[in-house]
Amino acid sequence: MAYHPAQHDQMSDGDFLGFTTVPLEEANVVGDEEVTLIGFKHKETFVFQGHALIAAIEGSFSVADFLMAAHPAWLSLHPCFGPSAYSLPVIQAIDYTIPDPADLRAPFSSPRVQNVPLKTSKLGKKVQRLAKKLAGKGTYDAILAVVDFSWAGFDAVHPIAAEFQVFEPRDKDKRAALAGAPQVTAHPLVPVPRVYPILHPSPQAMTVFAPASWQSAFQALFLAFSAFKHVDVPNLAFYPTAMAIGAKGHGKSTLNRMLVNVLLSTFSQVAFLDMDPGQAEFTEPGVLGLTVVDFPVLGPGYLYRPARPLLAEQFLGAVTPQACPDIYLQHVRTLVAAYRAYAAEAWAKERRVVPLVVNTLGWVRGFGLELLKEAMAEVAPTHVLHLVGAADRDQIPVHELLEPWLSVATAAAEASVSASASDGEVASLSSAPTEDGGEDEDTMVIVDEDQDDDHVEESTTSPPAAAVAPFVPQVIDVASITMSLRPRLNASDLRIFAQSVALCSRTPSLDVPRRAWLDPTPLTSPKYPTYAIPLSKLVVATPYHKIATPDLLYALNGSLVGLGVVTDSAIASPARAGFQHVPFMPDHHYVGFGIVRAIGGGGNGAERDVYVLTSVDAARLDHVDLLIRGDMDVSNWLVTWGLPFVSATKPPGPYLTYAQGEGVGAVATRLRRGMARKVHA
């Protein structure tokens, strides 16, 4: 698809309320609770809170910089999420027409996108009938289908989401809407469940605008990354990689999400590396992960967790690497190696380029800057997107981050020139004129070792090669975004919600619809047995706290742990008489995370078991022989899930130990007393 980001209008200086909101009237809306069609004129927008499947029936739409165009034979249903704690996706009709595809295959082959044939499926036939009915009411430039997505099982997190008011309007907003105030509420013409159109300013309508510098950066990266597809070499020495850096709250997550959507217009897959354990995009908090994205990301990435194609992940067990920098960097190395192996295989077998987008920490001062420098050296990005804030304290000394490349490139250039002068060979580092007639020191010449000098190819981007001179990452300064409204929930609150989604992402049971993303029954429900792992087969790692072995079981009970399979050859298999306790993070294969509910048994010679609440299926748990006690708090919102709310004045849950004067049990569990004020704010 010959598409460039600059070909459509995107969000300008101001929030979505500056655009023309599509009117929801009898003349341009038809449908029912299963599917509703809305007719648009060019540049009209539609914003909603909740979650639904959306598809283009006629014309084209832009959603978070993803081009969603109508297909003549297929109805491609894209999951779209609008939780109130995040910037809501803006669906805008755009003036863009793609040529008819040569075949009738669905435009997206990802299993995350439901491709429904228009002419033969029940839903497709219904959509066609509704489209004809809408055409009888008037002429529209684009038609959007909003399809029921309530079956996905997100009601499973309702006990928590109801308090957070993430997917539904707050009660006071509903009351204000009934009184005629311009608030978010359900619309009678759009009866699709869990869809609450926002047609007027609302405290829950948190939006962002994409500055012009973002669009320019997307255009540059689109062209530079596309150039990799036209290089004819047997092996790639490096791959197109974009790393966004910036202080906390500058919009790195939104930028990365939009960039992934832009790249998906020309690449079938985009790899995403989560290096921020506190605000990860696709993994649960405290985990670094590598995800292969083959679907547009229309909302927070972790909401796609039940259907994501995760390539690799590493358990850090903390929301910041401050106390574990060595473990953090080792995990980064492991994930980068996994990406390069995957990208190399894709290129060798299919000549397919898989670009990488990297999500970094917002900790960019002091020791955080040193960590960023080390991580950047491991990733070796071809492009760096530097989000520049208004305050001087928000600026990152980019020259310090580039110092390793600059010194190596200078030394290599001098050595290359010297060798060329003595042996008469062609230098592998060259300068090429820029648009203004100068020279670009970062421009390289591709040299394939299997080719002669007549096949040297120049590139004005940072292209791949089997052998190429050292390069310097290209830095692109982009403006930090401005929130039209600040979120009511902080990062800690959102981590709790992300963990709840992860704990729901379990293999559906027999009485749960197979197409459901989440199991609607809380893990703490008596319906589900807690997994029991024999203590004698376990290695228990405590890399963050010095815990005496006799006190280990007290500290382990009620804590959040990582589950893994030990691959460290230095650790022998534990004897049946007991378990092993190691004060470091052993090499392992990460399986998932869970909460230790209890440690029982052991009487009359019986073997003791560790009871774990987890979303990992039993087949994978059979191989687990490692528990990693992290440095993360366990919130009562999670451990009392499915039980009556527990406060300091009520009896505790059956497996909780509250903070006391003694160090007994997992005393890190804490009450979120301020949440009540946020709910009623």
Residue-wise pLDDT for 463-482, tens only, equals 444 334 457 888 888 887 75
Residue pair 236/340 in contact (Cβ under 8 Å)? The answer is no
> Residues 25-54, buried b or exposed e (16+ Cβ, 10 A)?
eeebbbbeeebbbbbbbbbbbbbbbbbbbb
**Whether residue 135 has pLDDT greater than 60:** yes
- Higher-confidence position of 391 and 22: 22
pLDDT score of 577: 52
Q: Are strands 142-147 and 44-46 parallel, antiparallel or unpaired?
A: unpaired
Summary mean pLDDT of the chain: 74
Residue 413: pLDDT band with limits 50, 70, 90? low
Burial of 307 (0-12, 13-18, 19+ CB in 10 A): middle
- Higher-confidence position of 168 and 164: 168
pLDDT score of 562: 92
pLDDT score of 658: 40
pLDDT score of 553: 85
DSSP 202-215: -TT---B---HHHH
- Three-state SS at 305: helix
Q: What is the DSSP letter of 495?
A: H
Output the six-digit token pair for 555. Answer: 């500290």
Nearest of 390, 333, 336, 325 to residue 363 by alpha carbon: 325
Other CB atoms closer than 10 Å to residue 493's CB: what's the count?
22
Ranges 33-42, 171-180, 299-308, 560-569, most confident: 33-42
Identify the helix (H) or strand (E) that includes residue 639.
helix 636-639
pLDDT score of 162: 57
Which amino acid, one-letter code, is at 244?
A: A
Burial of 464 (0-12, 13-18, 19+ CB in 10 A): buried
CA distances from 142 to 57, 147, 185, 527, 540 (A): 7, 16, 25, 47, 58
> Residues 548-562, buried b or exposed e (16+ Cβ, 10 A)?
eeeebbbbbbbbbbb
DSSP 399-427: HHHHHHHHHHHHHHHHHHHHHHHHH-PPP
Q: In percent, how much of the chain has pLDDT > 70?
A: 64
Q: What is the DSSP letter of 366?
A: T
Nearest of 300, 298, 250 to residue 482 by alpha carbon: 250
Q: Within 13 Å and on the Cβ side, how many CA atoms surround 681?
A: 14
Which amino acid, one-letter code, is at 590?
A: Y
pLDDT score of 273: 95
Ranges 14-28, 113-127, 443-457, most confident: 113-127
Rounded Cα distance, 158 and 562, in Å? 25
Q: 303: alpha, beta or left, given left = phi > 0 and alpha = psi -120 to 50?
A: alpha
Nearest of 144, 157, 183 to residue 35 by alpha carbon: 144
* CA–centroid distance for 229 within its chain: 25
Q: What angle do CA 599, 640, 648 make, to 5 degrees?
A: 100
Q: Are strands 142-147 and 48-58 parallel, antiparallel or unpaired?
A: antiparallel
CA dihedral 358, 364, 366, 369 (to 10 degrees): 30
**Whether residue 649 has pLDDT greater than 50:** no
Rounded Cα distance, 288 and 293, in Å? 16
* CA–centroid distance for 446 within its chain: 33
List the domain boundaries for the chain: 5-197, 212-419+474-479, 507-679
The radius of gyration of the chain's CA atoms, rounded to the nearest angstrom, is: 27
Q: What pLDDT digit, counting tens, does each position of 266-298 carry? A: 898 999 999 999 888 888 889 999 999 988 899
The reported pTM is 0.81
**Whether residue 30 has pLDDT greater than 90:** yes
Which amino acid, one-letter code, is at 134?
A: L
Mean pLDDT is lowest, of 162-176, 224-238, 568-582, for 162-176
**Whether residue 303 has pLDDT greater than 60:** yes
Rounded Cα distance, 554 and 551, in Å? 5
pLDDT score of 172: 54
Residue pair 444/463 in contact (Cβ under 8 Å)? The answer is yes
- Three-state SS at 161: helix
Rounded Cα distance, 479 and 213, in Å? 6
Q: What pLDDT digit, counting tens, does each position of 493-552 carry? A: 778 778 877 777 655 443 444 456 777 666 666 666 678 888 888 899 999 888 888 888
Rounded Cα distance, 654 and 578, in Å? 26
pLDDT score of 131: 93
Residue 105: pLDDT band with limits 50, 70, 90? very low
Output the six-digit token pair for 50. Answer: 């909740």
Nearest of 278, 482, 483, 283 to residue 362 by alpha carbon: 278
Tell me the torsion sign for CA atoms 532, 535, 537, 542. positive
Nearest of 601, 500, 590 to residue 553 by alpha carbon: 601
Ranges 223-237, 247-261, 334-348, 355-369, most confident: 334-348
* CA–centroid distance for 216 within its chain: 23
- Higher-confidence position of 572 and 475: 475
Name residues whose C-beta falls within 8 Å of residue 681's C-beta, 6 or more positions apart in sequence.
488
**Whether residue 129 has pLDDT greater than 90:** yes
**Whether residue 144 has pLDDT greater than 90:** yes
Residue 7: pLDDT band with limits 50, 70, 90? very low
**Whether residue 142 has pLDDT greater than 60:** yes
Residue 456: pLDDT band with limits 50, 70, 90? very low
**Whether residue 89 has pLDDT greater than 60:** yes
Nearest of 164, 159, 205 to residue 184 by alpha carbon: 205
Rounded Cα distance, 372 and 256, in Å? 17
Average pLDDT over residues 140-159: 83
- Classify domain 212-419+474-479 by CATH architecture: 3-Layer(aba) Sandwich (3.40)
CA dihedral 555, 561, 566, 567 (to 10 degrees): -130
- Higher-confidence position of 562 and 426: 562
pLDDT score of 342: 94
Identify the helix (H) or strand (E) that includes residue 372.
helix 367-379
Q: In percent, how much of the chain has pLDDT > 90?
A: 20
**Whether residue 255 has pLDDT greater than 80:** yes
CA distances from 212 to 61, 88, 248, 480, 526 (A): 19, 19, 21, 11, 53
